[in-house]
Structure 1
Amino acid sequence: MHTFCDRAPRSNCLFPYVPQDTAPGRGQRAVDPVIIVGAGPVGLALALALARQEVPSVVLDEGPGKDEQRLARTVVLREDTAALVERLTGFPLSEAGFRWAGWRSMRRKQVMREIDFADGSQGATHGARDSAHGSHSGAPEYERADVPAPLHIAQHALTGALRDAIVHERLIKVAVDSRLDSIEQETSGVTAHTRGPKGTWWHGSYLVGCDGPRSTVRKLQDIRFPGRTAVERHAVAALRTELPWPGEALLHRMPPWRTSGPSAGEVTARPLADDSWRLDWLLPPGKDLVTPDLLLSRIRETLAGWSGGSTPPYELLDTGVHTVHHRLARRWRVGRVFLAGDAAHLLGALGSQGLDEGLRDADNLAWKLALSWHHGPHETLLDSYQVERRAVVAARLRAADQALPLLRGGGGLRSYMPGSSRGHDALLTDGHLGRGPLGAPGAYADSPLSPPYVESTAPVDTAPGAPVTDVRVTAEDGSFVRLRERLGRGVLLVVLVAPGTGVWERKHWVTAGIMPRLAAAVTALPHPAELLVAESYPGAAAHTVLLVRPDGHLVSAHSGVRPADLYEAAEATLGGPTKTEATAGTG
């Protein structure tokens, strides 16, 4: 059993646990955990990500350790963040009752360009084709998107899966009923005080605020949080019913019924487990109350519109109003204190997903904190967290701000752009699907960890700083795995592209050709690395060598085995040599 400090004075308040199979790193005390404030999905994911790299943490949960079950409060995970959650929890999400949903984009297609007038009425329409049923009518057209489907789940199901994974994790302590009220930074660490039934002091190596939009950590560090309030509002209903497209998420850009008045606009539906759905209706700007009668009217007319004119039986499970804010913290790091998730940013308009970005925050920060925890603080590496992640989220917010006037403005520019409806629909669908500037995983193109260009640099379809493609690789033990399965363990990945190796046992080629030289170069890198072999990689020629960060972003690609270039790239992605190493090199 782990015993945590619950008494003053602060100077004696330590995390009294040292991993039995690891030794303290240079420049840090192995007894000091990373303090994580907030037990939402981002905080819990960060704790698990640190534990996978042998870093202890304490999660300060101001609640009782249980999550309210709200079916109207759901989250959407893209392919990469869903894979991250699967790695952290250790089991397929499909086994936890989660639902993978295809996506069907629904919009009115007309022979003549449609015009939305200022009063919300529509111009003349000439029948549209229902491609799902082969009929011609005034009904919407339905288009299936051939892209990886997002994962849609109730948020309490996600946090429950993360909590279940933490129960058996020896390096994580969750302190319930612990509300943060002060932070003090020191040279060797950070001290936090919590109030509650067992108010106490906690001493840690670092502190990460994952405590949501009203972040106490952010306020205690006096970090500004500018942005826009109520960018969008949606009425939400969770219900159990049957729709004509089971298991597929729906986006209806311009429903033809509109009997609830000019404010009845865009509708989305996403499937949940047990034949239940979440429906969202975009609300007009303002603070008008969403009355029960109005919500029931929208449910009935929407279900009737999708079901051929009659409302099918349904069971209403939960309701709510979802308000989207866009905000971005000025700083994400102050000394040993960091921000992540909703404490650092708020977004969500036009289908973009804030939790996706929060989980990417955790993935980016975890390996950098782990390396600093084991080997001593490395300022360039720690600073890169803010530089990389804030730039990606800022770009996402800029893209949404640029698209909002086109997609949400009733008349104006949209009315005078021939063919613009299709382009706008595609842009909106991209946000929901995780494509393009509104949804695709960000690339760290201007990262301070980027290595310099060298002559051996080879072209591949993945840009430096972008997430790598999840190809099949051969691991060092000879097993075939997906590349994403090797991420998140704090080691660098070196991938050799070698066509033909997939049909031979590893023992037949591991000592042939360039493999011995490459293996020696990997062993000599300044940080532990794993050598993997892929039969192919998009855009890569034979004998291309990829260097991949622990969070799955490409560092560099090289033509052939160039040990010096590979070493230089690895050193750059670690933030350069540590102060100790630099001093030793000049002695």
Structure 2
Amino acid sequence: MDPVIIVGAGPVGLALALALARQEVPSVVLDEGPGQDEHRAARTVVLREDTTALLERLTGMPLADAGLRWSGWRSMRRRQVMRKVAFERTGTVEDPGGGYAGGHGGGYGGVAARLAEGPKDTDGGPVTAGGPAPLHIAQHVLTGALRHAIADERLVEVAVESRLDSLEQEPSGVTAHTRGSRGTWWRGSHLVGCDGPRSTVRKLLDIRFPGRTAVERHAVAALRTELPWTGEALLHRMPPWRTSGPSGSEVMARPLPDGVWRLDWLLPPGKDLVTPELLVTRVRETLAGWNGGTTPAYDLLDTGVHLVHHRLARRWRAGRVFLAGDAAHLLGALGTQGLDEGLRDVDNLAWKLALAWHHGPREALLDSYQTERRAVVAARLRAADQALPLLRGGRGLRSYVPGSARGHDVLLTDGHLGRGVLGAPGSYAGSPLMPPHSQSTTPVDTEPGTQVVDVRVTAEDGSFVRLRDRLGRGALLVVLIAPGTGVWERKHWVSAGIMPRLAAAVTALPHTAELLVAEGYPGAAAHTVLLIRPDGHLVTALSGVRPAELYEAAEAALGGPAKEQAAANAG
């Protein structure tokens, strides 16, 4: 069968190629560039816990343990310090400014950074992260790690200097043509456009991309200097040296190794040109404001202007062609992260494409990609658009939303920390893949349709692994909650109690499934059985071994009974 054609060699396209390869699906990545990425000190990305875990599985690199971690956030309103942050070095790692510091590239040292805790509310109430912190890392470092993993992957071919200029679809596949020095025709089973905001794939399909332009503007600079806060990050909401009002005042500083900092300034609305002179003025003004009126010596390494657009493609699927990442959506105001959502697109689409590639088309399953992912991103965009006037407008938030629990800093921090409607991973509770409720369904702390908690489980070979390590292999996961099993060797309980009956039920499921055992799971009683999708979203939780209900739930998660799928395909 023909490989999947992936248009675009950014983080989303490269991650999709690796995710398909993990499920034995070949792919061709069309890279319009030379196969190398520009090193920019001021261009970084933010990854949440789930997307960091996804990339670690795909690359085999411990991104979450790299370098400098944010264990908090310092926020200042007017002259008041609201929260301190601590950073710690943990060794030589990937570097947002210059490649791998351990000998794989230049730059000024290696770093990835974590932000783990939010500021106090203006009324003094604590705001905590409630989980692992986001990971900050340079985009070129991330793509470099993905390219390094792909170099050893036999199922992935990267075609450099290959720019898509046309595509055609037939019932049996997709044909794409590229131009350039290596222009040629490519044949694929499916095609996924991961080619960014100006997506050629989206334009060739004539898919509308409505939304808002420049909802936020930020000036960015990376510089080497000394600040009063050694290894601390800060968000200065209303610096006293600025007089232009809240819409043009906010500045964030993030430390990098070797005395390097990344500074971000929120710019006023409009299209005023950000000249080098204006940016230098901002740098000097800010440094002086933080150093008692005296500008310390600094070395300006990189600058840029970041425009945040909010757009959502009308369709994410057209026959055998799909959109993912920035080709399908643009977001990023108030700390929300477009790359996070692009990687979640990958996690959602890869296992569905793999199942169709290996076992024939399942239209309802493939359709669910657009249904699930577009709804989640649309909700995120609505939340950001509703919060923007409150956070960036002239009136105080208290006049709109009473009470301290939803202060400015709380809402702003939600996006940065990956929680609430602005940042938390989305739920597929309304998905057509969700099974009907049955009398055997039992509640756990994870709602059906949301991501499962990463707990320690026992695999079929008796080894202890993390639940998230078993995701992304194309198989359904069935987890039995059995307290006490962790202290016994597997051979003593694998043939006892309900295990033989459950193992038989798992073997009889309509798709490959892996049986795992956990000592416990949040909110789950003993003998609860969890059914989990390959992308880590909970399908259902059953009280005890219920073969019929388990089979029905697995069928629903795959898009419906095989007979109905075959009839739909024939029709």
Select which of 427, 437, 450 maps to 2:411. Answer: 427
1:402 to 386, 390, 398: 386
Q: Deviations over 1:6-37 (max 9, x none)?
A: xxxxxxxxxxxxxxxxxxxxxxxx2x000000
Aligned mates of 1:251, 1:53 — CA distance in 2: 42
* Residue pairs, 1:266-305, within 5 angstroms: 266-305=250-289
TM-score, normalising length: structure 2: 0.88
Bigger Cα displacement from structure 2, 511-520 vs 436-445: 511-520
Q: CA deviation at 1:390?
A: 0.1
Aligned mate of 2:456, from 460, 472, 484: 472
Deviation, 1:580, is: 8.2
- Rounded to whole Å, the distance in 2 between the matches of 1:41 and 1:98 is 20
Distance change (3 Å), C-alpha of 1:274 and 1:35: farther
2:45 is the alignment partner of 1:78:
no
1:437-490 C-alpha deviation (Å, 9 max, x unpaired) = 000000101111001111110101111110001111111111111111110100
1:538 aligns with 2:522: yes
Q: What's the Cα RMSD here?
A: 2.5
Offset of residue 250 of structure 1? 2.8
Q: CA deviation at 1:132?
A: 4.8
Q: CA deviation at 1:510?
A: 1.6
The answer for the alignment partner of 1:108 in structure 2 is: 77
How far did 1:128 drift?
4.5
- SS of 2:72's partner is strand
* Distance change in 2, residues 1:380/1:248 (3 Å): farther
Give the superposition deviation at 1:311. 4.1
User: C-alpha displacement at 1:288, in angstroms?
Assistant: 1.0
TM-aligned CA distance change 1:303 to 1:511, over 3 Å: farther
Q: 3-state DSSP class of the match of 2:408?
A: helix
User: Quick one: which amino acid aligns to residue 168 of structure 2?
Assistant: E
Deviations 1:126-173 (A, max 9, x none): x8466659xxxxx99997844421111111001000000000000000
Q: Are residues 247 and 331 of structure 1, via their aligned partners in 2, closer, same or farther at CA, if it must alter by over 3 Å?
A: farther
Please tell me the residue identity of whatever aligns with 1:40: G
Pair 1:153 & 2:137 matched:
yes
- Which ranges of 4 or more aligned residues in structure 1 deviate by more than 6 Å? 139-144
TM-score, with length taken from structure 1:
0.86
Q: Which of residues 19, 41, 65 in structure 1 aligns to 2:11?
A: 41
Q: Please give the per-residue CA displacement for 1:350-380, whole angstroms capped at 9, x wherever unaligned.
A: 0000000000001100000000000001000
Match of 1:228 among 201, 204, 212: 212
Answer yes or no: is the 8 Å Cα contact 1:406–1:414 preserved in 2.
Answer: no
In 2, the alpha carbon distance for the partners of 1:263 and 1:129 equals 20
Aligned partner of 2:306 in structure 1 is: 322
**Residue by residue, what CA displacement relative to the aligned partner does 1:466-523 show, whole Å, maximum 9, x if unpaired?**
0001111111111111111110100011111111222222222222211111111111
**What is the identity percentage for the equivalent residue pairs of Structure 1 and Structure 2?**
80
Q: Which residue of 1 aligns with 2:21?
A: 51
| CA offsets 1:383-441 (integer angstroms, 9 cap, x no match) | 00000000000000000011011001012765576656961210100110001000000
Which residue identity is paired with 1:101?
W
> Is contact 2:390–2:397 with CA below 8 Å preserved after alignment?
yes
In structure 2, the residue matched to 1:3 is: none
Out of 183, 188, 197, the position equivalent to 1:199 is 183
- For residues 284-433 of structure 1, what are the structure 2 equivalents within 5 Å? 284-307=268-291, 310-411=294-395, 414=398, 423-433=407-417
Q: Give, in whole Å, the separation in 1 of the partners of 2:328 and 2:509.
A: 34
Distance 2:269 2:561 in 1: 52
Structure 1 residues 472, 275: CA separation in 2 closer, same or farther (over 3 Å shift)? farther
User: Number of aligned pairs?
Assistant: 531
CA contact (8 A) 2:397 2:408 kept: no
Question: Aligned to 1:540, what secondary structure does the other structure show?
Answer: coil
Separation (CA, whole Å) in 1 of partners of 2:360 and 2:15? 23
**What is the match of residue 14 of structure 1?**
none
Assess, with a 3 A threshold, how the Cα gap between structure 1 residues 44 and 130 changes in structure 2: closer, same or farther.
Answer: closer
Q: Distance in 2 between matches of 1:318 and 1:178?
A: 29
Q: How far is 1:262 from its partner?
A: 6.8
CA contact (8 A) 2:222 2:262 kept: yes
1:306-345 residue CA offsets vs partner (Å, 9 max, x unmatched): 4565444432210000000000000000000000000000
Larger C-alpha radius of gyration, 1 or 2? 1
